[in-house]
Structure 1
Amino acid sequence: MTNITPTKLVQDLLDRASGQDQEGGDKRLKTVLRALLEQTFALIERHDLTEDELCGAVAYLGKGADEYGLMIPGVGLEHFMDLVLDARDEEIGMGGGTPRTIEGPLYVEGAPLSEGSARMSDNEDEGERLIITGVVSDEDGNPLSGALVDVWHADTRGFYSNFDPTEKNAPFNNRILEEFAAFQ
């Protein structure tokens, strides 16, 4: 198995490619870029990638160039970052809140159904009152009758009902299913 990544030749290449050998610029960015490149080089060697496989991976990334933002969750990077941030919170004693997740705090079946207006919170909570209004319409802007909108919000501690380890939040607190009637 080839292992040239640690050699002076490759290490010098990494310094040039990341800008480490140049004055100015963002030092942290250069350091992170160098580490990313070095891990990529090592991965190529460790998995014995062929030139066609490397070019195929680059082509795959290139196809997503207009939507790189969607690729980040698609390959698990966003979820991994959520897990890292949750672990960091835990390390400094701020864990226990609703876990971060791209999907949100998750749909919970059985939310109370209201029509017109409703108060979502069962608890008096510190913080400002949030008032939500809206209209659900079709593609032509016409109001839709019978549209259901699932709404939920965290309390000031960051906890959602059904996900509150302190059990301060009653089931379905700050959570409601709203049915919209068409306006005449």
Structure 2
Amino acid sequence: MDTFSNHLTEAVIATFKDTPERHRHLFASLVSHLHAFVIENECTTTEWMSCLTFLETVGKHCSEERNEFILLSDVLGVSALVDAINHRRPEVATPNTVLGPFFHEESPRINHADSIVHQDTVGERVLVKARVKNLRGEPIRGALIDVWETDGNGEYDVQRHEKDEPLQQDCRGHLYSNEHGQVELLALKPVAYPLPTDGPVGAMLLSCKRSIYRPAHVHFKITAQGYDPLVTALYTYDDTYVDIDAVFGVKEALKVKYERSLGKHPWLLCPEFILITEEEAQVRRNH
């Protein structure tokens, strides 16, 4: 068996000999690991067919509004791993985290102190006063900050809208930092929410008795000329699920505490985002 399996693995890898170098390396590694998985576990035909059927079902649950394969990648920790490999920042810089499936390139433009939340949207309001700066502590002017989150019921706008109706964007928006690197906006104090369980990935989590919840968080995507783009999120430090995030996106430096406010809005959050330059990022990638 060992002789045959080794020969088979080598034979499959050899068929990629004329493939461009990087792809050849990736396919060879993929085949080697897949074969090793089957050999190590001595998979039965029924077990392997169950794997293929599961992947087929994942594909059938994909649509323009939903990508079940991204969800699978997330809950297996692959998305977080790829993200960590591709964004190696110094400890003082704000860490990256997974983008998630609910980002929109064309969110509503807002002015400073405006709200990203519809007036009748459920949830507690929080005033966010953020600052964007570089490793030297210098403010970054003109940085584009995209913000998005769920409503107080734990649903994104794309999950609430009817398929035949135009999307009414809510709990999302973008604005630019001023000369002091500052932005101010009104958002919602985030809440934890469950991943969808009506598909094969959710069914897998439930059958494995894993948590299906993401801890309370709000997403940020920050881009500025000359700087490495930052995709991150801020997680409520004392959330029930902050240490068992279903998609492994939480990092210690991204845990934040919301302060009670004496002003018009009940909550206040004052985060700082520290970016690195494109040159600094490229040096780390090359290393």
Structure 1 runs not aligned, ≥5 long: 114-119, 165-169, 176-184
1:97 matches 2:84: no
Question: Which residue of structure 2 aligns with residue 78 of structure 1?
Answer: 79
SS at structure 2 position matched to 1:128: coil
SS at structure 2 position matched to 1:111: strand
Check the 8 A contact 1:155/1:174 in 2, yes or no: no
Measured against aligned partners, the alpha-carbon deviations of 1:104-162 in whole angstroms (never above 9, x if no partner) come to 9xxxx98328xxxxxx4467822316488xxx997667x8xxx8663764596858889
State the identity as a percent. 10
- Which is richer in strand? 2
Check the 8 A contact 1:82/1:100 in 2, yes or no: yes
1:111 matches 2:126: yes
SS at structure 2 position matched to 1:112: strand
Counterpart of 2:38 (choices 41, 44, 66) is 44
Measured against aligned partners, the alpha-carbon deviations of 1:16-75 in whole angstroms (never above 9, x if no partner) come to 2xx22xx3x422112211111111101111111111111110111111124333332233
TM-score by length of 1: 0.54
CA separation of 1:5 and 1:83: change in aligned 2, threshold 3 A: farther
The count of residues paired between Structure 1 and Structure 2 equals 146
Question: Which residue of structure 2 aligns with residue 32 of structure 1?
Answer: 26
Alpha-carbon separation, structure 2, partners of 1:13 and 1:138: 47
CA separation of 1:110 and 1:39: change in aligned 2, threshold 3 A: same
TM-score by length of 2: 0.38
Alpha-carbon separation, structure 1, partners of 2:80 and 2:3: 33
CA separation of 1:50 and 1:171: change in aligned 2, threshold 3 A: same
For the aligned residue pairs, the C-alpha RMSD in angstroms reads 4.5
1:14 matches 2:13: yes
Check the 8 A contact 1:160/1:174 in 2, yes or no: no
SS at structure 2 position matched to 1:7: helix
